[in-house]
Structure 1
Amino acid sequence: MSRMNMIQAINSALDTMMGRDEKVVIFGEDVGYFGGVFRCTAGLQKKYGKRRCFDAPIAEGGILGTAVGMGVYGLRPVVEIQFADYIYPAFDQLVSEAARLRYRSAGGFTAPLTVRTPCGGGIFGGQTHSQSPEAIFTHVCGLKTVMPSNPYDAKGLLIAAIEDDDPVVFFEPKRIYNGPFDGHHDKPLTPWSKHELGEVPDDYYRIELGKAKTVREGDALTVLAYGTMVHVVLAAVIESGIDAEVIDLRSLLPLDLDAIVASVSKTGRCVVVHEATRTCGFGAELVSLIQENCFYYLKSPIARVTGWDTPYPHAFEWDYFPGPKRVAKALHKAMED
């Protein structure tokens, strides 16, 4: 075991898989010699050579198109899109080619590729470096969508994504790249388990895609979150004093509906929290699924706490984020109804 932040855990996952499988190749903008803008691929080109870890032009459509071809050929490409905001030029390659390949070929071909991309705010990157577009990709049949909240899960989920025979979009919340925190931008994390503090196995392990994790057990209500918002929610639960059960979804598609239904059926109340904008965010799908499966157990309306429906604010991003106070207010409201 080693103490790692999320950047180091991601690097460890890539190193582990490149060492285990010579078919794993890594490429993208600045990922080779420089080691990535956030240093997630640091040292890999030096260790494995320029044929397995190399730089690509600033052409996201070309990067993804090349990755699809590599996957069909038999490789397992792991590409980095430098910021999730720049994934849109590659959207057609993901939706029209990678996601449909298994089905349009009747199982004859697959696209075993992984798309890593930093998402969300927290670095004052403004409108073009801070978006959370995960809901767009969960709408696409044939794609899998993952977002970890801590270093331990990041490594295990990334290894599972690389080993998967279908395309996976792996979102990495940049706000927690360098370590978890308690949801306030100026305070450290209050410890809640050794994994979230960054204790990560050095060797191979995997976490199955589509399995949520209960990070806090409780009986009063259920809170669903993923990525950075898991830490915000835990801070809000402490601030509110409510005995909430907190579930880290980890994988949005496939989704662990069984875990969600079991928790909401037990508590009878639910609050959904995500950083992305509210309208047509992934929380809307969660609310619909809970209503369909838990209607007779519900004691109050399902609530959402999200980013605002506005272009991403640069100077006011900490007002845009769902923070512990806003989440705690929603928790109290759910208990009153």
Structure 2
Amino acid sequence: MTGQLTLQSATLKPWHTLGFDVKAKGVVEVFSEVDIHQILAFAKQYDLPVLPLGEGSNTIFSSDFAGIVMRVCLKGRRVEQGNDGQLVVYGAAGENWHSFVRWTIDQGASGLENLSLIPGTVGASPIQNIGAYGVEVKDVIDWVRYIDIASGEVIQLKASDCAFAYRDSIFKQQLRDQIVITEVAFRLSSNFTPNLSYIGLQDSHAKTALQLSDYIVKVREAKLPDPQHLGNVGSFFKNPIISEDHYQVLKENFPNLVAYFVGGGCWKLAAGWLIDQCGFKGIRKGKVGVYKHQALVLVHYGEGHVEDLLSLAWDIQQQVWLRFSVRMEIEPRIYPQ
């Protein structure tokens, strides 16, 4: 734990990638489970809510936070040999996600390469069930270790008990705001079998996990803004999932509709395409806007207000609904809610 925590208003501007100047009652960094228990005891004494935060790359502060923001900085990573080429890889919650992915590749472990360059931390990855290029992190998680905020109990939850779904999990639903993730274990492989199911990855001609990771990094850099230079939280909306009947109606009216069959009589629509069709791609409204290379990304140019970004998001939701009868769900977590 760095310094002495005091109940003094602190800006959250440096601690979330949108960079809005919102405040919290206090901000503290924790480097161990002991630190976490101390902060939880302090918060309980003053009857304050606690918000664990990684790199803030998937968080929107809609207003000041009337509690303590706990920046989870736990470090540590290790790998153990399993059976039949399986490797169990452990990552502390505060490890940078992309650095962790590249480290696993250096260790001869494959399975995370499709998730290269996703902003955030290891501890945040199961909350959102991060996914990209045909892979979701739930596919390789073994278990998640966390501390219950109310009781202080340390719990290890198997992946099968995490209620993983598309950009969703038990940590985003039933356990939202109730736990602090401290470590995640992954089941990876020493045998590289490339997942090239996503359209376009076949062009990578990757023969190693590193080559596939490098290719995905280039693709992401070409179409997504670096949050260190332009405030954003990556994909702002989930790709909507609709019924077969709804899909057929849209396909008839919009022959160029971008959609993917996901089974169970459902189709996943490309949210970026929907937004683009409504004329929002590249639009700027004051200090916020929609990224010129990817309509799914809303951006903050600096010195703006979060209300402006949420107003723009609302406009997008309204227009997509009016044109396509599709509800657009915001992907990042919003605090307070």
TM-score (norm 2): 0.29
Q: Which has the larger radius of gyration?
A: 2
TM-score, structure 1 length as denominator?
0.29
More helix by share: 1
Which structure has greater strand proportion? 2
